[in-house]
Copies of this chain bind each other. A is one copy, B any other.
């Protein structure tokens, strides 16, 4: 079981809300709404998705990364988990 288990319900609620926002954007396009209003909605989808990413990241560090470091017999063992973490952070920072 992964460490986000505790927050799963909370994250699912947020994901469904983002999905709803995205369907709202599709409706706005269908109804020929003003582009700036659509752009505002899109930037809100980006921010909400990043927020879920931060939540997942926190539980990943608290769970998997902490576990990997604790159970590592040499620093090489935890190195894999840390490298993977840094790469996923980099993907968020530099899209």
A residues contacting B by CB (< 8 A) are: 1-5, 8, 11-12, 15-16, 18-19, 22-23, 25-26, 29-30, 32-36, 38-40, 42-43, 45-47, 49-50, 52-54, 56-66, 69-70, 75, 78-79, 82-86, 88-95
Protomer copies: 4
* Cβ-defined contact, A63 with B47, below 8 A: no
Given contacts A16-B26, A36-B85, 12 further A-B contacts (CB under 8 A): A15-B25, A38-B56, A39-B88, A39-B92, A47-B95, A58-B86, A61-B82, A61-B85, A62-B82, A66-B75, A69-B70, A70-B70
Question: Does A2 contact B89, Cβ atoms closer than 8 Å?
Answer: no
Across-interface contacts of A75 in B (CB, < 8 A):
66
Contact of A23 among B19, B25, B36, B90 (CB under 8 A): B19
Top 8 A-B residue pairs of the complex, sorted by shortest distance between their CB atoms: A35-B60, A43-B91, A42-B53, A58-B86, A69-B69, A39-B88, A47-B95, A19-B22
